[in-house]
Structure 1
Amino acid sequence: MRLTRHRRWAVPIVAAAAVGLTLTACTGDIANEEAGDVDCSDYEEYGTFDGAEVTVAGTILDLEADRLVESWSDFETCTGISVDYQGSSEFEAQIAVLAEGGNAPDVGIVPQPGLLKRLADGGWLIPASDPVVANIDEFWDPIWKEYATVDDTVWAAPLMASVKGWVWYSPDEFEEKGYEIPQTLDELKELSDTIAAEGDHKPWCVGLESGDATGWPGTDWIEDYMIRLHGADVYDQWVTHEIPFNDPQVAEAFDAVGEYLKSDDMVNGGIGDVSTLVTEAFQTAGLPILEGECSLHHQASFYETFWNPEGGDENTVASEGTVFGFLLPPANAGDPLSVTGGGEFPVAFRDAEEVEAFRTYLSSDLWANNRVSLGGVVSANKGLDPENASSELLVQAVEILQDPETTFRFDGSDLMPGAVGADSFWKGIVAWVGGESTEQVLDTVEASWPAS
């Protein structure tokens, strides 16, 4: 599941008001430089346009939205295309309604392959142009092209990416107490047991609250354990329903995660007991590490942004800094690196040269380096220089994504049908940490899987 955050201000638009969707606006004007200050030689291939505008919408908000707008500032200056971005936490729920009513933006930044497929099946999308597809073939691992392909048609290029399965921790605490980075899942459990036995605080801090999407951080735990315990092939069978959701292998992953999320000895450091998992916002759940009230927090690479919620730099993300992360280890030492992650896909709802010029830029190594240099995110674009990433951890994330030996799989719930991945699976996590058994929850989710 892709993160969403709420702004304090909003600019309603007429089309959105008709369906109850409030969007927050960011226009390129706030970031544009004077044309004389910009070297436009890198942008000549995109052409020039007189008075053209491209409207864009997505789930990206707040500081990330500001940086996104800045990433295409020079593109606007050099091409003459004005890009108007509007972000909303309701984008995923309402974009199909807007498309059906003819009110969709020119470009929608879609964070779920399942949602992309739904929009393609609805007949609302414009196929990716040849230059976009050429960039995909040049700059991305083939698995990313598969995620944006429906019925043999490629609909979009990837945009940003995240590597999930990071375990955030305090390097100072680990050094002071002599903790070692675990190399296997068993060693992670041993470390957690050690911290719990010391009695100073609970080892883990966890937050599953995310508005209508409450529960999704728990699905990330399950997905990370599925790929580590059973491998990519079984993971693929699970997300495509070649094995049922209540398969014993899925139960094994739930029970392994349950040793943490369903145990008052393990959670919820600095926050409360197990019941607080569903009321603590995922954005703030890791912050007790900074106060020494928990030691470990499971969250994706994008969580780097939240260590400095006011946009400052007092908390450094580094191996010798305030906070850092290690990847959730494999089941067995020496297992090949398998990770889960997420990303976005800019789909088009309007067939126009300026729209495809913009999408071609977003699919380029130029855009990837421009955006990543601004901080807080990474991309799986192979033309990205890892050193442009804003922290030691994000440099590692880029290298993981670019490594041909890495087995990467997209977030499982984002690949499943919406009735499961964006509904019963999330709700199942909430019921499960609330006391329902693994068997009950898996049977309920399995029963919700669409028949076709």
Structure 2
Amino acid sequence: MKMQRRTTLLAGCGSLVLALGATACGGGAVSAGGGDKALSGQTVTVAGVWSGSEQANFQKVLDAFTEKTGAKTQFVSTGDNVSTVVGSKIEGGDAPDVVMVPQVGVLKQFADQGWLQPLSGAVRQTVRADYAPVWKNYGSVDGTLYGLYFKAAHKSMVWYSPQAFSQAGVQPPKTYDQMLKAGHTVSDSGLSAFSVGGEDGWTLTDWFENVYLSQAGPQKYDALASHKLKWTDASVVRALTTLGELFKDRQLIAGGQKEALATDFPGSVEKVFGPKPEAAMVYEGDFVGGVAHDQYGKTVGKDADFFPFPAVEGTNAPVVSGGDAAVVLKAGKHRTAAMKLLEYLGSPEAAAVWAGEGGFLSPNKKLSLSSYPDDVTKATAKSLIEAGDSVRFDMSDQAPAAFGGTKGAGEWKVLQDFLRDPSDPKATAAALEFSAAKAYRD
């Protein structure tokens, strides 16, 4: 889930024409309602977690939809608690038409409560033809497709300042131990190693997931994600112990644990790429590059670069992904227009609008890599597409929202407590299991 500005929409295949019959970079013509302004007079309300530059860039996609179909759009930012906000709006008779759901667990929750409209035949055909099967699986509940994944995230990336690395005389590491060693060398040169956005609990879940997937392997990862394996398992304690060694090392964390807990995700990026750098590295997904570029004018690949999250203890390097799925609410007032919006969002044309702005990856195989604004993003997108079904979806996003997706509660809160005091991994594992068991039971 859980960022991102170029004014041109040139994508290497010629100008992207946002008009009737436009041909997307990946292939043939796409349609979002006939191109004859057939939806004029309707307003599609879209709710999602995005704010700031992400919201601004998504609005450009919505504006392109309006240009094609005549339907106006209204975006409502929900903040992190999308489940609670959407539920209250449905109860109040003010349901949005479309929700950009950032978590598999929330999508399943919405479907189980009968809130979702199954996707149209046109959308199902697009997903079958243009997406790896994993994206259909994560968008489906009990075999019915409810969610179209529009925006994906590559969440196994450590972003760094090439200038800071050069000054410290270190190279991008290949293993987790090498990363910590490089961090200490950077710290000796005057900067902290890592900026951690612990005020946003989801960043801590991402840290854990990468360590866990690399150490424990995909089978245990899948079992833990579905709560078929308890959080008290020794593999969880082991991963927490590994992560705790980093969290408790004041030399590695900018400002120490207390400051990390007071730093949100955007702030963590600022500490590395802002005007007064405090750290050399920040772990998070591909969207970090969009923030570094949009907010601080950094050229991705030159002033801001990344290395893959390294393998822990000589095991396999992790590939964790995430994404935002568009769903249509039955309680919405414009379901036909809403479904047309999803048909558009499934097209390479729609994806190319945001891709050209940066801070965006599409799981759509038909989107040309030339749509992306820089070589680093092209390489990241290529890696995600080529990984196919071997990637593992963000674990917290697969859990019930009460455990994996609620600010100040569940896994977010427990891992924030762990960042504050990482001295007892077994107690943290027990707290995670207690919270998970309750969420899955409810």
TM-score normalized with structure 2 length:
0.86
> Which residue, out of 272, 287, 308, partners 1:327?
308
Aligned-residue offset at 1:334: 8.4
SS of match in other structure, 2:279: coil
Counterpart for residue 357 of structure 2: 374
Contact 1:165 1:340 in 2 (8 A): yes
Contact 2:3 2:54 in 1 (8 A): no
Contact 1:125 1:155 in 2 (8 A): yes
Instruction: State how far apart, in whole Å, the 2-side matches of 1:231 and 1:3 are.
Output: 29
Query: What amino acid is aligned across from residue 345 of structure 1 in structure 2?
Result: A
Are 1:63 and 2:48 an aligned pair? no
Query: What amino acid is aligned across from residue 300 of structure 1 in structure 2?
Result: G
Worse-matched range after superposition: 369-378 or 83-92 = 83-92
Gaps of 5+ in 1: 5-36
Q: For residues 240-299 of structure 1, what are the alpha-carbon distances to aligned partners after superposition, in whole Å with 9 as ceiling and x for unaligned?
A: 11111111111111111111112212212xxx2222111112211232334453222111
Query: What amino acid is aligned across from residue 205 of structure 2 in structure 1?
Result: T
Aligned-residue offset at 1:346: 1.0
Query: What amino acid is aligned across from residue 322 of structure 1 in structure 2?
Result: D
SS of match in other structure, 1:345: strand
Worse-matched range after superposition: 222-231 or 286-295 = 286-295
Counterpart for residue 229 of structure 1: 215
> Which residue, out of 117, 132, 154, partners 2:123?
132
Counterpart for residue 159 of structure 1: 150
Aligned-residue offset at 1:91: 3.4
Counterpart for residue 20 of structure 2: 40
Aligned-residue offset at 1:73: 2.4
Instruction: State how far apart, in whole Å, the 1-side matches of 2:161 and 2:303 are.
Output: 6
CA spacing shift, 1:45–1:123, aligned 2, 3 Å: closer
1:2-401 mapped onto 2 (5 Å cutoff)? 2=2, 39-42=19-22, 44=31, 46-47=33-34, 48-89=38-79, 90-196=81-187, 198=188, 200-210=190-200, 215-268=201-254, 272-290=255-273, 291-308=276-293, 311=294, 314-318=297-301, 321-331=302-312, 335=316, 338-349=318-329, 350=332, 352-401=335-384
Q: For residues 197-222 of structure 1, what are the alpha-carbon distances to aligned partners after superposition, in whole Å with 9 as ceiling and x for unaligned?
A: x2523222212113xxxx22111100
Contact 2:170 2:182 in 1 (8 A): yes
Pairwise CA RMSD of aligned residues?
2.3
SS of match in other structure, 2:44: strand
Q: Percent sequence identity over matched residues?
A: 26
Aligned-residue offset at 1:77: 2.1
Instruction: State how far apart, in whole Å, the 1-side matches of 2:297 and 2:246 are.
Output: 30
Are 1:430 and 2:421 an aligned pair? no
Query: What amino acid is aligned across from residue 291 of structure 2 in structure 1?
Result: F
Instruction: State how far apart, in whole Å, the 2-side matches of 1:438 and 1:44 are.
Output: 53
Higher relative contact order (CA 8 A, sep 6+): 2
Q: 4+ residue stretches of structure 1 with deviation over 6 A?
A: none
Q: For residues 155-210 of structure 1, what are the alpha-carbon distances to aligned partners after superposition, in whole Å with 9 as ceiling and x for unaligned?
A: 021010111121111112323433121112222222223334x2523222212113
> Which residue, out of 433, 436, 439, partners 1:446?
433
Contact 2:134 2:389 in 1 (8 A): no
Query: What amino acid is aligned across from residue 60 of structure 1 in structure 2?
Result: W
CA spacing shift, 1:191–1:116, aligned 2, 3 Å: same
CA spacing shift, 1:259–1:315, aligned 2, 3 Å: same
TM-score normalized with structure 1 length:
0.84
Counterpart for residue 394 of structure 2: 411
Query: What amino acid is aligned across from residue 209 of structure 2 in structure 1?
Result: E
Give the aligned length. 407
CA spacing shift, 1:377–1:171, aligned 2, 3 Å: same
SS of match in other structure, 1:187: helix
CA spacing shift, 1:352–1:323, aligned 2, 3 Å: closer
Contact 2:168 2:185 in 1 (8 A): no
Instruction: State how far apart, in whole Å, the 2-side matches of 1:186 and 1:407 are.
Output: 25
Contact 1:57 1:108 in 2 (8 A): yes
Aligned-residue offset at 1:45: 6.1
CA spacing shift, 1:257–1:51, aligned 2, 3 Å: same
Contact 1:232 1:338 in 2 (8 A): no
Aligned-residue offset at 1:347: 0.8
Gaps of 5+ in 2: 5-16, 23-29
Contact 1:49 1:81 in 2 (8 A): yes
Instruction: State how far apart, in whole Å, the 2-side matches of 1:312 and 1:440 are.
Output: 39
Instruction: State how far apart, in whole Å, the 1-side matches of 2:18 and 2:154 are.
Output: 33
SS of match in other structure, 2:267: coil
Q: For residues 414-436 of structure 1, what are the alpha-carbon distances to aligned partners after superposition, in whole Å with 9 as ceiling and x for unaligned?
A: 11122321332111112112225
